[in-house]
Structure 1
Amino acid sequence: MTEILNPADAGGRHRPIPRSIPTAAYPKTEIVELFSWANAQGTPARSRSALALLCLGFGAGLATRELLDVRVSDISTNTDERFVGSATATVVVWSDRPRVVPFRHEWVPTLLTVVSDMDDDCWLFRPGRTGTSPGQVTDFLTRSRTHLDVRPSRMRTTWLLQHLAEGMPAVELLRISGLRNYAALDKLVPFIPDATGLETSSRNS
């Protein structure tokens, strides 16, 4: 920018803008605490919304603006009664990054509990809303008065890291996450245990 707008001051070296530090992921202990927090909400409706928030964040890695737009009709489930724990689920994202996202299997049972007896046209998180606004998650958390750090951005980072650690091909992870380039994944690689060589492989996948 200096070279273009003020070329007289463009001589010499300039300090590069550093890459942003990624949001920290949740350790397993904090995920357990958040699950307990969701179940301990003051009313069944608030508990259902808190669990929906965790399912959409940890289970599908949705950003805040995306999870606010999810209706029950956007969720598809498939259960096979012959096999315990075989249920699968996906969510359709209709925002500026349209895609179908599979839920992580460990969150499917909770999701099935959340959507049971809900009408298809209901919002999954905080049903009864007349629309969506950026502050609706913050308002919900403020009313819960929790000391826990409940952030969809951290849930999304956790979801991304889990898939990277499990070896999901980078091109597939980009598709289901809505991310547009490999750089967004590269900056997460150092946070993966035993991540030697993964940065190179993520670029080549």
Structure 2
Amino acid sequence: MVADLIVVIIITTEDIVAVNLEPPKVAAPYWNEIGDFISTAVEEAGPAIPYRQGELLRAATGLTLWAWQTAGLPLERDVIFRRHTIERFVAEGLAHYTNSGRTTRRSQLLRMAEFLLGPKVMPPRMRPIGLPEALAPYTHEQLASFKSWAATQSPHDRRVNAEVLLSLGFGAGLAAREITNLRVGDIRLDDRGVLVEIRGDRPRAVPLLHEWEPALITFVKEHRSTDWAFLPGRTKVYKNVITNFIYWSGTTEETPQTPRMRSTWIVHHLTSGVHVVPLLRAAGVQSLEALARYVKYVPEVDPDNARAALRGCGL
């Protein structure tokens, strides 16, 4: 005789789709007005998002309460969960959070919004929260040392590549991936100097600082337009190509790093008084916040000259 088969099904709280969680205390007085709106949104989006129901409930409650009570927005899904509303809530309603906390909460809300409104309504890319500290620019002494490092590379091809690297980093402020992706044909020579055309996700044209023009002019004239601008003998773009090149230079002294070369380029232009709009475009950034990080490295201006400039009498 076959024993009866007993099947035990264990249901955890994570398997429950319906939102039967206690509303956050901060929203309790208003739950009759906003509770259904929040619960429905969490119930629909929750199963498709890799966050716990409780986390989504707290995130949606914070957003909805702020939008409805503080911003005065209607309880409409395409209004509450639109990207602009989420950005405002994170910036204003979560100002007391850490950058990490705001980033997490924003990610939760964006995933909900993408499911509830669809990816076409919710563009996936948003600016990062809390830009990292700007790296200090190189000093004049360090710059002179790097020029000496490049000039003493051997054989000739290594010396040329070292000079190209410094020219693109210090002369145009390019990021590492932009240097490694650049072709000779992207470097234009004309009677006004050298213009570096950047492709990719930050397309732009960057005028090269005149100090760094000679090495690039010579290089461009000696190579085909289809060659890579840095290490033209390679057949592909690969990770750490610049790091590996510098590593095999055989020096024990400090070597140039592309992030600090870019920082040096930005600070140079800020110090020189280049207009902020063309500098934003040349740097491939969209917000003043991205440049404001470097202001602490810009030398102070004489107070009398500063006053004259602010008065409109020139600096």
**Partner Cα separation in structure 1 for residue 296 and residue 160 of structure 2:** 35
**Partner Cα separation in structure 1 for residue 57 and residue 248 of structure 2:** 50
The one-letter amino acid paired with 2:259 is S
1:178 maps onto 2:289 in alignment: no
State the secondary structure of the residue aligned to 1:37: helix
Superposition misfits of 4+ residues, deviation over 4 angstroms? 3-7
Q: Which of the two has higher C-alpha Rg?
A: 2
Segments of structure 1 that go 5 or more residues without pairing to the other structure are 80-86
From 69, 72, 91, give the equivalent of 2:184.
72
- 1:54 is aligned to 166
- 2:266 is aligned to 160
How many residues were matched structurally?
187
The one-letter amino acid paired with 2:290 is A
**Partner Cα separation in structure 2 for residue 134 and residue 63 of structure 1:** 13
- Residues 72 and 115 of structure 1 are in contact (CA less than 8 Å); yes or no, is this contact kept in structure 2? yes
Q: Which has the higher helix share?
A: 2
Give, in angstroms, the shift of residue 114 of structure 1: 2.6
- 2:225 is aligned to 120
Judged with a 3 Å threshold, the aligned counterparts in structure 2 of structure 1 residues 170 and 135 are, in CA distance, closer, same or farther, namely same
Give, in angstroms, the shift of residue 14 of structure 1: 5.4
Give, in angstroms, the shift of residue 133 of structure 1: 1.6
Cα-Cα RMSD: 2.6
Judged with a 3 Å threshold, the aligned counterparts in structure 2 of structure 1 residues 19 and 117 are, in CA distance, closer, same or farther, namely closer
Which stretch has the larger CA shift, 15-24 or 132-141?
A: 15-24
- 1:38 is aligned to 150
Q: How much identity, in percent, do the aligned residues show? A: 36
**Partner Cα separation in structure 1 for residue 156 and residue 57 of structure 2:** 60
- 1:82 is aligned to none
- 1:148 is aligned to 254
- Residues 146 and 256 of structure 2 are in contact (CA less than 8 Å); yes or no, is this contact kept in structure 1? yes
**Partner Cα separation in structure 1 for residue 154 and residue 211 of structure 2:** 25
Give, in angstroms, the shift of residue 109 of structure 1: 1.5
- Residues 51 and 114 of structure 1 are in contact (CA less than 8 Å); yes or no, is this contact kept in structure 2? no
Give, in angstroms, the shift of residue 90 of structure 1: 0.4
**Partner Cα separation in structure 2 for residue 19 and residue 90 of structure 1:** 29
The one-letter amino acid paired with 1:130 is T
- 2:73 is aligned to none
Using CA pairs under 8 Å that are at least 6 residues apart, name the structure with larger relative contact order, 1 or 2.
1
Q: Deviations over 1:26-51 (max 9, x none)?
A: 11111111111111111111111101
State the secondary structure of the residue aligned to 1:124: coil
**Partner Cα separation in structure 2 for residue 4 and residue 166 of structure 1:** 49
State the secondary structure of the residue aligned to 1:92: strand
